[in-house]
Structure 1
Amino acid sequence: MSLADYLLALRNHWVGAVALSLVGLCAALAYSLSQPAVYAADANGFVTTGAGAGSGDNVALGSVGDALSKSRAKSYVDVATSRATAQRVIDQLDLDASPSGLIGQIEVEQPVDTVLLKITARASSPELAQGLADAWVTALAAEVEEIENPDAVPDAQVPEVRSIESAALPSSPISPQPMRDGALGLLVGILLGVAYAALRSQLDRRLRTTQEVERKFGVSVVGAVPATRGLEHERGEPAELAVAASDEAASFAAAEAFRKLRTNLSYMDVDDPPRTIVVTSSQPSDGKSTVSTNLAAAIATSGQPVILVDADLRRPVVAATLGLVEGAGLTDVLIGRVELEDVLQEHPQVPGLFVLAAGGTPPNPSEMLGSRTMRTLLEQMAREHMVVLDAPPLLPVTDAAVLSTLADGALVVVSHGRTLDGELESSLANLAAVKGRVLGVVFNRVPRRNSAGGYYGTYYGRDDATGGRRRRDRRGRWGRRGPRK
């Protein structure tokens, strides 16, 4: 995966990544704060070979003495961590501990090329750590004296350990360190979050990006409709069209999205642009009726008369959504019960937008939609109008695939972050099986944090389609300045 792929994965699955980061931070802090405080104190011993060994009377003898002291210092590291030395400290401080357990609290180090022995003692209190370090140097000196001079000969020229620096009282514990542990926990949590997002991105089959659709399926994404509260409504309830909404500020991004979709359709084939368009989707909940109604309204506002046909004869919603009469409609025209002009309804807010309701529910919708009568009706409507057909979803039934053979092409609506790649693949395969033309894919409910949604949120929040800069007046209404120069 490239850096762009990781960033995209984090954007799509940021909730889980943030949650794992916080879990890592909280777990590290909880563990750190639950640990007992540990204090450390340092005391230093000096290894010498006696008064004569290092005197200035004989340089060669002094050099030999220094080498002997360094050699002895290395050996005394093991002596310092022996049970005998630990037992001396226990006896001296009257501790209730075992020699082996006490050795675990001590660290002995001999700096390279020196005759020093650094004793570091760790304990649960500053006083105990200080006393333990000083006592250990004293006990080491006594143990070395017993080893090097077992007969206790006075003034014997043998190596010995002398205390040169007593331990200072620790002012703060060396452990735990909540800041350090929290930073490490946060780092681990972030790494886990990135790994989680990358894994979810690899396993997640929901469609989220234009590049993903175009790369996997070879079809163009011709529109991206941002998630807008004004477009969401319960099935069958009246809904306000984005291009005719009273709250212009709330619907502006959606209206511009449908105008852009209208423009893209007109430029697909300049010499022979599509005039009969089927709008469908993979599943019923992808928002194809919302896209078809608003696309038809956007086409009508450009001055091109358009007929919106509710071709979903199984679950018609167009008339109810637009607040029109649901009585006679398409099925009645197809069986010759009424004439087309008698059942066309013009939308009261969008001049040039005519709606043909579904009419009665027939027992054989697929056969009726694929009939020669339907083909003739579409040709009749397309002579003076553009025709937008709100068709059923592709996966549950074959109606939309049948209609695509009679129309100039089909738009497939994809719900951002909901539609699976397998669903779109099957939908496109259904259209290909009947040799239907796919005009493109329309992404619906694109969140504003997405690249497309961010575009609408930043550009359309300030400027309209003509370049005029938008702003609120004193009453909170949206107005327009002149076009930018």
Structure 2
Amino acid sequence: MTFNRPGPLEEASRMWRTDRAPPSDPGEGPLALLRLMVALAWRNKIRLIACTTAGFLLAFLYANSLPKVYNATATLLLEPRQFASADRDISGQQNLDLNSAESELQIIRSERLLSAVFDSLVLQGDAELGPRPPKEFTGLAVQVQDTMSTLVDNGLTTLGKTSRRAEDALDPTGDPLENARRTAFANFVKRLSARRVGQSYVVEIEFWSYNQNLPARVANAMASGYILQSIASKEQMARAGTDTLQGRLDALAIQVNAAREAMRNGTLPLLATPDADARIIGAALPPLDPSGPRKTLIAALGGLLGFLIGMSTIAVNVAFDRRVRDTKELSQETGIPCLATVPDTGKTAGIGWHFDSPALQRYASVIRDLKTSVDVACASQRRERNIVIAFIGATAATGVSTLSLSMAQLLSRSGHHVTFFYSGLPSLVEETSSSSTSLADVAISGLKADQLSFGNLDGIATLPIHSTDPHIDIFADFRHPSVLRILESARLKGDVIFDLPALDTSLDALALAFHADAVLIVAKSGRTTIDEVKDVHSQLRRAGAPVIGTVVNRVRS
């Protein structure tokens, strides 16, 4: 039997589907990133508000320190005209293309025209265009920059190096007046711009200044200067010819004089200039209001910059600060469920018969929910026997002793017999109970349960884990059979709570956690790192301890 189409048979013979795409992880992708950014922004809203406000205020102060800027614009329409002589009747408009328009634009930007306008308006002595303008023409930031540049230049001079200031780059041996003129002319050129409006033949000549009246004078003078150049060239051609009528020469001369006078006064020609290569369609007027600085825009950009800086600091903090802040983040990073978040009560927490504040009531509710979570996790053991619950932390001062004592108090108030083995509450427990022996003494001497004297803390049997003799703690083996017998004896009476020492102080916690039915890792919010929780979890797994979850403790020390 022959199959002509083996393709479907190959697909049918597979034991798995090949057309199914792998399920996408809902915790990844742009939406997850957006949710993470929103969560981080909300969690650090105080820092973001502070950074945004600081950026807004600094930008607002900077904008108010800047001098007011005024600008004016004169508008020309390019209309090149050919010269008409007696034997040629070609006074019509010359054909104008885009290349010719660009050429005329370069003529407007030429140094010849700029120099003519600069000299006709006598701008060499303008203090604003000088090498060092007055302070009222410079903002606060510019003054600070000039001060810093002066200090740097003094240091460079001391070291025998060359200064980097632009005005100092001029020839020191040259004429001071010429150097001042060159600097003023360079500043004049920087402030003037000429551009075409789109692809049209309209040219805008714009000039800005800190002086309210100067921009209109310069823009109008540039327009009059361009008209003067175009008419003057036609006059020269007419005088060079032999067939030009005297009336025509007189008309051109009148137009030249009118354009020259307008350029000198910073205005437009008072007479019509039909022979010019451009027509003025918009005169530059003195501005009524300053065009800059745009204080609102600068302040808004400053606020945005402050917000971005705040988000950047938050991102860097999240990347390098691995301290436990959120239960969801802790569960995602470690893969261990977080069973409870203990709130801050403002004082030493505990489970009493009466609650004098809502904070203590919330604290008791969290401990009760934690007990319920432990009962659910140890449901099979709870049916057969009492359970052993151990609390452990990566470092000291994580609140392990307080939480374990609160759990013992809750179980005791619920009618359970509780045996509490502690390591971190000597001052609190020994004030109300006394025990001459410890679990370390049992590991060394092999004492039996009836030979031990347990302390009594409001009905809770207490016994310290470590001895008062440091030598006994060194040689104690908490996996000794006698320790196991003591634990089994306590289990027969009721539940057992372990307040284990921190792993950074003693590894005895690993030996004792092996005997527990449920181990809870306590992480101090804002102090314990996620890596420390992972390290504790890995050590407990290697020791064979049953870790059922973590607890985030927000109670202040």
Do they superpose with TM above 0.5?
yes
For structure 2, which runs of at least 5 residues remain unmatched after alignment?
1-31, 85-89, 125-180, 239-248, 253-273
Which residue in the other structure is 1:376 paired with? 485
SS at match of 2:300: helix
User: Is the 8 Å Cα contact of residues 47 and 115 (structure 1) preserved in structure 2?
Assistant: yes
Deviates more, 1:260-269 or 1:7-16: 7-16
* 1:133 and 2:219 are equivalent in the alignment: yes
The answer for the alignment partner of 2:204 in structure 1 is: 118
The CA distance in 1 between the partners of 2:81 and 2:549, in whole Å, is: 95
Q: Which secondary structure does the structure 1 equivalent of 2:193 belong to?
A: strand
State the Cα distance separating 1:203 from its structure 2 match: 2.4
Question: Of Structure 1 and Structure 2, which has the larger fraction of its residues in strand?
Answer: 1
Corresponding letter in the other structure for 1:371 = H
Distance in structure 1 (CA, Å) of the matches to 2:379 and 2:109: 90
| Secondary structure of residue in 2 paired with 1:278 | strand
**Aligned positions of 1:75-114 closer than 5 A:** 75-96=103-124, 98-112=184-198, 114=200
Distance in 2 between residues matched to 1:328 and 1:337, nearest whole Å: 14
Residue 143 of structure 1 aligns to a residue in which SS? helix
Q: Match of 1:255, SS?
A: helix
**2:421 corresponds to which residue?**
309
Change (3 A) 1:270 1:139: same
Contact 1:225 1:446 in 2 (8 A): yes
Q: Identity over aligned residues, as a percent?
A: 22
SS of residue paired to 1:150: helix
Alpha carbons 1:332, 1:338 under 8 Å: kept: no
Q: Does structure 1 conserve the Cα–Cα contact (< 8 Å) formed by 2:449 and 2:486? A: no
The CA deviation at 1:105 is 1.6
Partner of residue 344 from structure 1, selected from 429, 447, 455: 455
How far residue 356 of structure 1 moved from its aligned partner, in angstroms, is 3.6
The structural deviation recorded for 1:69 is: 9.2
Query: Which position in structure 1 is the counterpart of 2:433?
Result: 325
Aligned-residue Cα RMSD (Å) equals 3.4
2:36 equivalent to 1:5: yes
2:380 is the alignment partner of 1:268: no
Q: Secondary structure at the match of 1:126?
A: coil
Asked whether the 8 Å contact 2:339–2:373 carries over to 1, the reply is: yes
2:211 is matched by which residue type in structure 1?
Answer: S
Please tell me whether the aligned partners of residues 434 and 455 of structure 2 are also in contact (alpha carbons under 8 angstroms).
no
Q: Could you tell me how far 1:401 is from its partner in structure 2?
A: 0.9
1:177 and 1:399 map into 2 onto residues whose CA distance is 68
Task: Name 2:320's counterpart in structure 1.
Answer: 203
**1:292: which partner in 2?**
404
How far does the alpha carbon of each residue in 1:40-97 deviate from its partner, in whole angstroms, 9 at most, with x for none? 11222344456999xxxxxxx99x7274498765433222222222233233322215
Q: Which has the larger radius of gyration?
A: 2
Q: 1:214 to 1:102 in 2, by over 3 A?
A: closer
CA apart distance, 1:242: 4.2
The answer as to 2:552 corresponding to 1:443 is yes
Aligned to 1:36: 67
Distance change (3 Å), C-alpha of 1:23 and 1:326: farther
C-alpha distance in 2 between matches for 1:82 and 1:115 = 18
Aligned length: 423
Alignment correspondent of 1:259: 368
Amino acid at match of 1:402: A
Question: Is the CA contact 2:355–2:361 (under 8 Å) kept in the aligned structure 1?
Answer: no
Residues 95 and 2 of structure 1, relative CA distance in 2, 3 Å threshold: same
Contact 2:433 2:455 in 1 (8 A): no
Query: 391, 397, 412: which one pairs with 2:500?
Result: 391
Q: CA deviation at 1:337?
A: 9.9
Return the alpha-carbon distance in structure 2 between the equivalents of residues 270 and 323 of structure 1.
36
Do 2:394 and 2:503's aligned partners in 1 also have CA atoms closer than 8 Å?
A: yes
2:313 aligned partner, one-letter code: Y
Shift of 1:262: 0.6
Q: 1:280, 1:393 within 8 Å by CA — same for their partners in 2?
A: yes
**Structure 2 residue corresponding to 1:224, chosen from 341, 355, 379:** 341
Structure 1 residue 258: Cα displacement: 0.6
The answer to whether the Cα contact below 8 Å between 1:275 and 1:386 also exists between their aligned partners in 2 is yes
Question: What is the CA–CA distance in structure 1 between the aligned matches of 2:430 and 2:36, rounded to whole Å?
Answer: 41
Separation of aligned partners in 2, 1:382 and 1:150: 120
The 1:262/1:340 distance shift into structure 2, 3 A limit, reads farther
Determine the structure 2 residue equivalent to 1:458: none
Change (3 A) 1:154 1:47: farther
| Aligned residue in 1 for 2:278 | 161
2-side partners of 1:101 and 1:373: how far apart? 94
Q: How does 1:394-413 map to 2 (within 5 A)?
A: 394-413=503-522
From the superposition, tell whether residues 224 and 159 of structure 1 become closer, same or farther in structure 2 (CA, over 3 Å): same
Q: State the shift of 1:283 in Å.
A: 0.7
2-side partners of 1:177 and 1:394: how far apart?
A: 60
Contact 1:230 1:242 in 2 (8 A): no
Q: Whole-Å Cα distance in 2 between the matches of residues 159 and 135 of structure 1? A: 15
Report what 2:257 is aligned to.
Answer: none
Q: Post-superposition shift, 1:305?
A: 2.6
Residues in 1 aligned to 2:494 and 2:98: alpha-carbon distance in whole angstroms: 103
Instruction: From the superposition, tell whether residues 82 and 229 of structure 1 become closer, same or farther in structure 2 (CA, over 3 Å).
Output: same
Check conservation: 2:74, 2:283, Cα contact below 8 A.
Answer: yes
Q: Aligned partners of 2:122, 2:362: CA distance in 1, in Å?
A: 81
- Comparing 98-107 with 44-53, greater Cα deviation is found at 44-53
Q: Secondary structure at the match of 1:396?
A: coil
Indicate how the Cα distance of structure 1 residues 364 and 431 shifts in structure 2: closer, same or farther if over 3 A, else same.
farther
